[in-house]
């Protein structure tokens, strides 16, 4: 995998996680599931040998990772309150 392919992969993941956050915020869970599957397929490539980056490409990768993490936080902001409600409802029965 080349450095440009690595960046392209992270850009795709960042785009997908952004769409996942939007789907979660709008309650589009079917769309969310589809995007999550696409994201998982893209992310599986990170399990193979991904070369270390340096210079500007390394900084770009860091920025993309920060974006992915922010998108993940946006999804969690939607799903965690709901999961808490579900947990409380399950404990009540």
What CATH code is carried by the domain that includes residue 63? 1.20.58.380
Q: What is the pLDDT of residues 32-57, one digit of tens each?
A: 999 999 999 988 877 777 888 999 99
CA pair distance 71, 14, nearest whole angstrom: 8
Domain with 73, as residue range(s), is 3-92
Low-confidence ranges of the chain (pLDDT < 70): 83-88, 93
Q: Is the full-model pTM beyond 0.85?
A: no
Domain count, the chain: 1
pLDDT at 70: 97
CA dist list (Å): 91 to 85, 87, 88: 10, 6, 5
3-state SS, residue 21: helix
pLDDT at 35: 96
């Amino acid at each position: 995998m080349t450095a440009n392919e690595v960046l392209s992969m992270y850009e795709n993941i960042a785009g997908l996680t952004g769409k996942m956050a939007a789907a979660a915020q709008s309650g589009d869970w079917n769309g969310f599931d589809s995007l999550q599957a696409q994201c998982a397929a893209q992310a599986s490539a990170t399990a193979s040998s991904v070369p270390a980056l340096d210079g500007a490409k390394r900084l770009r990768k860091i920025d993309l990772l920060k974006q992915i993490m922010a998108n993940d936080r946006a999804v969690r902001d939607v799903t965690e309150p709901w999961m808490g409600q579900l947990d409380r409802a399950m404990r009540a029965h």
